[in-house]
């Protein structure tokens, strides 16, 4: 079956990266001189408002921010040529002999999403000194500006420029030849060879993930195969395949597998003890019973709902079923003595309501029964909905295994009841249901803005002011001149000094990782352009005691938005940080306006973002815990494509039958 929108069909991948709706072809990248490449393209047709060219050193950019943004223009001033000589602000230049990958993007007017309009590869030609060598091989009668003037030694510059035209093309072919010789250097080979090499190792190139990430995946494939099936192998696979650091843990549900708790494909280890028989009831079986649905589940990873456990009465009396039958060592749940545990589940009657309850049976390391709990909190199940029963107890001394049992009182022959969503967890009370032993994958964002209220959009929460007052103001940071299509913030804060003395704006405390570089920036303006503002980062130890304060350079205010910033390394004993700005208020008590603050683990000042605005695609931005404007902000580059493909491929790298969920914008441990 075809799956549309992800550029693949079955296991063979096909299709062009350029979208037919927005086509910049012919888009070409031609060597213009040594270490410079000229781009040319046709203006795309269609309904778009901004055009952007992006360069990447490792493969075609997969998003509009995946690399160095060469330019961004509005549609009515769009150009069709650009000379890339690596001279942009902050650029390190084009490295000779390296191929470079360019993409043209346009922003679709209807939804403000960036769409790719074309790809091109250009090579930065290496200078082998061919021009000089060719020139020196010629007779002096040709190389002199005055052929027969022996008293004058003047170089024939016209001939030299002519020879450079030939030399540049010769050096281009030589550069390409040298690159072919080094074709097994995965980091630097031409991107067109990456899919071929991937196929040799049994993995497929996926255009939506891009050549850069595919290089990393290919470069690590031997190690990934060696560690496949292990925790380390899973973590490394996600990092190599998807590009995200990650944290992996198991769900709180200690039932041994999904069949024991959700009856996905069988009744698991459950056995009938008295007056009943057990059968897995499929969601498609008759009568139709809708399995329990956990509303707290992650939106894209609902709990399993393909079956339930059907308990059918075989005689009048109390029906009882046990998790392991008479084999607690093989099928009991491992426990620790002195720890509180809770067992819970959901029951539903076929027709007649009965009392459903549970007990916990404790066994020692040899499988001998120690004791059992009381019946806990039972429920009267009904035929129209699910009801939860539960039991809690602290594991007795020497307990190694626990075997939950479920009882249904006063059952009669052929009477049916249904059980689902069974959970055994640490604690003295039940919590929302999670699948048994489910693998929880927390993807760590590409970037995290640590500030809890970075944009002053709705309040001044998480910021304090000394010798001043704060008030929300109806103004916002002007768009980035290099990326005017990106909104930054919708409001700001007006700071009014109280006296002609130091004014200090300080953020709330944020946990940090010691020994790492952190970058802080904030936008500000003040109409008189006479105030020197100093950004700072204050470091605190685990007891929230101040260690030191790193002051940045002073920034003179302007009547337009100016970005003040500082970069500092967290001390080795630092656990928390606060950031802010300070200045000496003049006698006029001039007001200062601030907005769009960014604090992240980085050695550079990057483009601003929060959970709503900034960078490129809003779909890649999240507020931690869905706490808009009042939490950390997470940015996942190319999140939509990566997450979808990761969901499809992860089962091939997990043990058979394992369930998993992928979490975004969660706190990192």
CA dihedral 31→36→41→43, nearest 10 degrees, is -170
Q: Is the pLDDT of residue 4 over 60?
A: no
**Regarding predicted confidence, which is higher, 390 or 69?**
390
Distance, in Å, from the CA atom of 474 to the CA atom of 466, rounded to the nearest integer, reads 22
Which residues, in sequence order, are CB contacts of 595 under 8 Å at separation 6+? 455, 456, 475, 476, 477, 488, 489, 491, 492, 493, 522, 523, 524, 561
| Superfamily for domain range 17-123 | Immunoglobulins (2.60.40.10)
CB 610 within 8 A of CB 452: no
Can you give the C-alpha Rg of the chain in angstroms?
A: 33
Beta-strand (E) ranges in 427-551? 439-443, 447-449, 463-466, 468-473, 492-497, 502-507, 510-511, 517-525, 532-540, 546-551
Residues of the chain within CATH 2.60.120.260 domain(s) are: 258-435, 447-635
CA torsion through residues 471, 472, 474, 479, sign: positive
**Regarding predicted confidence, which is higher, 578 or 142?**
578
* Least confident window among 140-144, 270-274, 439-443, 657-661: 140-144
Q: Which of 215, 42, 44, 37 has the alpha carbon at shortest distance from 116?
A: 44
pLDDT band with cut points at 50, 70 and 90 for residue 260: very high
pLDDT number for residue 7? 38
pLDDT number for residue 1? 33
pLDDT band with cut points at 50, 70 and 90 for residue 205: confident
Mean pLDDT across 599-603: 95
pLDDT number for residue 128? 84
* Least confident window among 6-20, 370-384, 555-569: 6-20
Beta-strand (E) ranges in 185-316? 246-250, 271-274, 276-282, 307-313
Look up the CATH architecture of domain 447-635: Sandwich (2.60)
Q: Is the pLDDT of residue 148 over 70?
A: no
Q: Is the pLDDT of residue 365 over 80?
A: yes
pLDDT number for residue 8? 35
| SS3 assignment, position 316 | coil
* Least confident window among 67-81, 114-128, 512-526, 545-559: 67-81
pLDDT number for residue 480? 66
- C-alpha distances in angstroms, 442 versus 244, 251, 546? 10, 12, 32
Which residues, in sequence order, are CB contacts of 481 under 8 Å at separation 6+? none
Distance, in Å, from the CA atom of 332 to the CA atom of 314, rounded to the nearest integer, reads 26
pLDDT band with cut points at 50, 70 and 90 for residue 512: very high
53 CA to centre of own chain = 24
What stretches of 42-189 show up as alpha helix (H) in DSSP?
A: 130-137, 140-143, 157-181
Which residues, in sequence order, are CB contacts of 384 under 8 Å at separation 6+? none
Q: Is the pLDDT of residue 669 over 70?
A: no
Q: Which of 520, 588, 518, 584 has the alpha carbon at shortest distance from 556?
A: 584
Q: Which of 45, 3, 39 has the alpha carbon at shortest distance from 24?
A: 45
Q: Which of 372, 371, 336, 368 has the alpha carbon at shortest distance from 357?
A: 372
pLDDT number for residue 74? 87
Q: Is the pLDDT of residue 509 over 80?
A: yes
CB 21 within 8 A of CB 115: yes
pLDDT number for residue 9? 36
pLDDT over 70 percentage in the chain: 93
pLDDT band with cut points at 50, 70 and 90 for residue 57: confident
pLDDT number for residue 482? 62
Q: Is the pLDDT of residue 150 over 70?
A: no
* Least confident window among 151-165, 447-461, 528-542: 151-165
Averaged confidence pLDDT in the chain = 88
Tokens found for residue 496: 């009014």
Distance, in Å, from the CA atom of 55 to the CA atom of 27, rounded to the nearest integer, reads 13
pLDDT over 90 percentage in the chain: 58
Residues of the chain within CATH 2.60.40.10 domain(s) are: 17-123
Which residues, in sequence order, are CB contacts of 433 under 8 Å at separation 6+? 253, 292, 294, 296, 303, 344, 346, 421, 423
Query: Which pTM value belongs to this model?
Result: 0.81
Mean pLDDT across 373-400: 94
Q: 258-435, what's its fold?
A: Jelly Rolls (2.60.120)
């Amino acid at each position: 079956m075809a799956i549309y929108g992800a550029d693949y069909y079955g296991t063979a991948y096909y299709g062009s990266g350029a979208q037919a709706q927005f086509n910049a072809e012919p888009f070409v990248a031609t060597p213009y001189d040594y270490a410079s490449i000229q781009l040319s393209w046709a203006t795309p047709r269609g309904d778009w408002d901004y055009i952007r060219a992006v360069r990447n050193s490792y493969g075609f950019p997969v998003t509009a921010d995946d690399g160095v943004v060469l330019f961004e223009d509005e549609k009515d001033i769009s150009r069709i040529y650009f000379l890339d000589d690596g001279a942009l602000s902050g650029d390190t230049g084009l490295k000779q002999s390296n191929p470079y990958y360019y993409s043209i993007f346009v922003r679709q007017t209807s939804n403000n999403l960036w769409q790719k309009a074309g790809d091109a590869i250009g090579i930065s030609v290496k200078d082998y000194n061919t021009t000089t060598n060719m020139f020196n091989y010629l007779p002096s009668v040709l190389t002199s500006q005055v052929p027969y003037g022996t008293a004058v030694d003047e170089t024939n510059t016209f001939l030299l420029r002519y020879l450079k035209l030939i030399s540049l093309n010769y050096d281009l072919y030589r550069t390409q030849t040298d690159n072919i010789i080094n074709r097994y250097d995965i980091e630097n080979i031409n991107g067109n060879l990456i899919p071929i090499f991937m196929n040799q190792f049994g993995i497929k190139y996926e255009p939506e993930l891009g050549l850069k990430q595919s290089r990393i995946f290919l470069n690590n494939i031997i190690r990934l195969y060696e560690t496949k099936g292990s925790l380390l192998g899973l973590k490394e696979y996600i990092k190599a395949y998807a590009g995200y650091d990650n944290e992996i843990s198991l769900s709180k549900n200690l039932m041994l597998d999904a069949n024991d708790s959700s009856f996905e494909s069988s009744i698991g280890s459950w056995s009938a003890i008295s007056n009943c028989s057990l059968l897995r009831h499929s969601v498609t079986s008759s009568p139709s019973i809708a399995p329990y649905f956990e509303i707290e589940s992650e939106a894209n990873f609902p709990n399993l709902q393909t079956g339930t456990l059907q308990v059918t009465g075989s005689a009048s009396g109390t029906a009882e079923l046990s998790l392991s039958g008479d084999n607690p060592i093989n099928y009991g749940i491992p426990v620790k003595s002195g720890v509180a545990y809770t067992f819970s589940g959901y029951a539903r009657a076929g027709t007649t309501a009965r009392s459903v309850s549970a007990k916990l049976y404790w066994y020692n390391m040899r499988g001998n029964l120690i004791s059992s709990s009381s019946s806990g909190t039972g429920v009267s199940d009904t035929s129209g909905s699910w009801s939860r029963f539960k039991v809690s107890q602290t594991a007795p001394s020497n307990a190694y295994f626990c075997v939950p049992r479920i009882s249904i009182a006063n059952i009669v022959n052929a009477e049916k009841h249904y059980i689902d969503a069974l959970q055994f967890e640490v604690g003295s009370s039940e919590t929302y249901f999670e699948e048994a032993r489910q693998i929880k994958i927390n993807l760590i964002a590409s970037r995290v803005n640590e500030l809890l209220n970075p944009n002053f959009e709705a309040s001044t929460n998480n910021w304090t002011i000394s010798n001043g007052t704060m008030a929300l103001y109806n103004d916002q940071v002007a768009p980035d001149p290099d990326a005017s299509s990106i909104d930054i913030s919708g409001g700001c804060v007006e700071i009014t000094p109280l006296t002609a003395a130091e004014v200090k704006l300080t953020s709330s405390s944020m946990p940090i990782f010691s020994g790492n570089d952190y970058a802080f920036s904030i936008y500000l303006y003040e109409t008189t352009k006479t105030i020197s503002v100093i950004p700072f980062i204050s470091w605190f130890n685990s007891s929230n005691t101040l260690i030191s304060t790193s002051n940045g350079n002073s920034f003179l205010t302007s009547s337009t938005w100016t970005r003040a910033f500082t970069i500092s390394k967290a001390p080795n004993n630092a656990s928390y940080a606060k950031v802010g700005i300070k200045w000496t208020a003049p006698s006029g008590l001039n007001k200062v306006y601030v907005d769009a603050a960014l604090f992240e683990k980085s050695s550079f000042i990057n483009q601003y973002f929060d959970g709503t605005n900034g960078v490129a695609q809003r779909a890649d931005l999240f507020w931690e815990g869905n706490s808009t404007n009042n939490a950390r902000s997470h940015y996942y580059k190319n999140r939509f494509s990566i997450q979808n493909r990761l969901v499809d491929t992860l089962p091939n790298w997990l043990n058979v039958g394992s369930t998993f969920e992928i979490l975004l914008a969660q706190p990192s441990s």
